[in-house]
Structure 1
Amino acid sequence: MFSERTGYIIWVNDVKSARSLEKYGSIHYISRKMHYVVMYMNSDRADEVVRNIQRLPFVKKIERSYRNEIKTEYERNVPDKTRFYSL
């Protein structure tokens, strides 16, 4: 139902022209101070889209986000000690 999405951090020279990246994927955040764009795109077409984005004159560098590879499910092996510290 949902396609797999991949996040990319795109470092740009000009934030105003970074709005034109919307046609390549969905823009999640644009940092005006640090000049980068966080955007998500479909994983199956990500390689060719990254090649097209790299050719744009205002793009400095593209980094892939590793957020979907980080483990987000935690297990508690240590017993809860908060009840011992209550007043």
Structure 2
Amino acid sequence: MEFEINKREGLIVYLYHLRNSRQLRKFGTIHYVSRKMKYVVLYINTENETEVVKKIQSLHFVKKVQLSLRPQLKTTFDDELGVHYKLTDEDREKYKTGRKIG
């Protein structure tokens, strides 16, 4: 039996009332609930993403559903750090000694 990682997609589900937020558990894993702004961050499997989004949108207590934009964001910045940013002598001194200057 081998462990397999499932691809997940984040959804932001805006609700009219938070009392219905527990019903979203059958569609995926609830990661966060905002009481002030009345939304739920929900993670679902990407295999059946379109079906689940349609089901969630059809619920009477759901105002709006948005897909998370995190997969489209670039998260590796190590390549560009040396290209766009040059350390000054003062910065090199600060990082070499580990103390703050200023």
User: Normalization by structure 2: what TM-score?
Assistant: 0.78
**Aligned runs of 1:61-76 on 2, under 5 Å?**
61-74=64-77, 75=79, 76=81
Q: Which runs of 5+ in 1 are unaligned?
A: none
- Indicate the RMSD between aligned Cα atoms, in angstroms: 1.6
**Secondary structure in structure 2 of the residue aligned to 1:16:** helix
Q: Which one of the candidate residues 23, 28, 46 is aligned to 1:25?
A: 28
**Secondary structure in structure 1 of the residue aligned to 2:48:** helix
Q: Which runs of 5+ in 2 are unaligned?
A: 95-100
Shift of 1:17: 0.8
Shift of 1:84: 4.9
Q: Deviations over 1:6-38 (max 9, x none)?
A: 111000001011111001000110111101001
Percent identity, please.
39
Query: Higher strand share goes to which structure?
Result: 1
Q: Structure 1 residue 45 and structure 2 residue 48: aligned?
A: yes
Aligned length: 87
The amino acid across from 1:12 in the alignment is: L
Distance 1:70 1:83 in 2: 30
Q: Structure 1 residue 80 and structure 2 residue 87: aligned?
A: yes
Larger RCO: Structure 1 or Structure 2 (Cα < 8 Å, ≥ 6 residues apart)? Answer: 1
Distance 2:68 2:58 in 1: 20
Greater CA radius of gyration, 1 or 2? 2
